[in-house]
Structure 1
């Protein structure tokens, strides 16, 4: 600000409660939550719900207890090795016990038996990290051991020739056909 003093005209001395710049008032916190929820895509919400449902079911089946935040780093590492394949004397295997895998499929938590795609594991980890963030908790997904395991797993998959699925970019003709159906206002 400049050297001039700011003069405010305050019509009523009791304008409102004093706010503190380093804390949100309950009214503001509720408004933030409402705006975030309103601006969220329905598909994102559905995707997050599915991922969190999977986490809860897997955790229950694997540890015999309900999942709670913060999730221990060891459980994150277990989740990764349960769902990604690694080389063994018998070929590629994941650490997910058959009975747990079967229970996930039978309860329609998982669509089919076997390991998950790398992209699905990364998405589920991302959702869990977001859940921690929303509760102002440090995310175990960002632990050095987890990050290193994910990095080396991606490299192992790439060495085996497994590449992330990429969608083909739209070409000019289909784009022009789509644009032709749009009504300009």
Structure 2
């Protein structure tokens, strides 16, 4: 029996009369395997938000395809600060309903990137159902462009401070001799020295992804990432760990007796290794914990500080940006250049003209 439209979530391809049940199942499996796990989770969150917004705003469920009028209302509701709106304003009432459900933080105007992401998800849902998108109408497209321009703001850094080498050394100094300490030391070093890895990339590493065959001879450990935000599966070049970072990882593998499964695993209160994968949020908690132990404010940096810190340190040390990007795997030079610009402008002699 073929799946019906109602049995499949909108982020998976809609059933087609031209496909057999086996072909439909294969197509669905292809979309699941070909879509990053983080994207699937984002789709689910955005679908929950959009559905709740439509119910609170119009008292009805989502339509497929959705009307251009509904799409325009969605943009208008998210293009202004509703703190200044009348309490009987329908957009404010809708926002308050979403806040009460824990789906919206405040009445303030959401960041343009948040609106863009939710619209992109909505567009993707229409594509999966092979339907025309309401966001493609001229009026809606123009309103979206105006909303983006009206709410433009400087991008907020993902980490308040970069975790540069000196900060990393302070975090590593808190890692003493327990299994948890060994794991955290190896994780922090790998996350920083291999190019500033993202949380999902660190937790996604399996034991077989870290090759230690050359370690005794050359002191090198080779890392194979399945895929990253900027590279697809099978397209990610091997990365290398050298020196202290390679030593810390090999030590963790020996102490944790990691023979297979996830490379980094949870540690119990009794300091035993638990054979399961860490969640990406665990990296955030580990960084917060080490910051606190090092005497730094908890909000001093986030896990993304490992990535920004690697690039900032590369700029401070004068490493060519192309060399840093070969490890960070940034696809855009302009994106990586931002970290270099912050360093270069301080060293710019034109900044000292007044003395």
Match of 1:100 in 2: 94
Superimposed CA distance per residue, residues 3-39 of structure 1 (whole angstroms, 9 cap, x where no aligned partner):
xxxxxxxxxxxxxxxxxxxx54442332121021123
Select which of 115, 127, 130 maps to 1:136.
Answer: 130
Match of 1:53 in 2: 48
Q: CA deviation at 1:61?
A: 0.5
- Check conservation: 1:101, 1:114, Cα contact below 8 A: no
| Closer/same/farther in 2, CA of residues 66 and 180 from structure 1, 3 Å limit | closer
- Check conservation: 1:56, 1:67, Cα contact below 8 A: yes
- Check conservation: 2:123, 2:133, Cα contact below 8 A: yes
- Check conservation: 2:80, 2:108, Cα contact below 8 A: no
Give me the CA root mean square deviation: 3.2
1:56 aligns to what SS in structure 2? helix
Superimposed CA distance per residue, residues 93-137 of structure 1 (whole angstroms, 9 cap, x where no aligned partner):
697633221210111122333221111111111100100000010
Match of 1:3 in 2: none
1:118 pairs with 2:112 = yes
Q: How far, CA to CA, are the matches of 1:109 and 1:124 in structure 2?
A: 13
Superimposed CA distance per residue, residues 143-164 of structure 1 (whole angstroms, 9 cap, x where no aligned partner):
1111111222223334xxx234
Higher relative contact order (CA 8 A, sep 6+): 1
Select which of 149, 172, 176 maps to 1:155.
Answer: 149
Q: How many residues align?
A: 155
Q: Which runs of 5+ in 2 are unaligned?
A: 1-17, 169-189, 197-209, 211-220, 224-355
**TM-score, with normalisation over the residues of structure 2?**
0.38
Q: How far, CA to CA, are the matches of 1:133 and 1:100 in structure 2?
A: 27
- Check conservation: 2:111, 2:151, Cα contact below 8 A: no
- Check conservation: 1:105, 1:111, Cα contact below 8 A: yes
Q: How far, CA to CA, are the matches of 2:158 and 2:40 in structure 1?
A: 23
Q: CA deviation at 1:92?
A: 6.9
Q: How far, CA to CA, are the matches of 1:28 and 1:116 in structure 2?
A: 41
1:184 aligns to what SS in structure 2? strand
| Closer/same/farther in 2, CA of residues 152 and 166 from structure 1, 3 Å limit | farther
Aligned counterparts, 1:74-89, within 5 A: 74-85=69-80
2:130 aligns to what SS in structure 1? coil
Match of 1:184 in 2: 222
- Check conservation: 1:59, 1:65, Cα contact below 8 A: yes
Q: Which runs of 5+ in 1 are unaligned?
A: 1-22
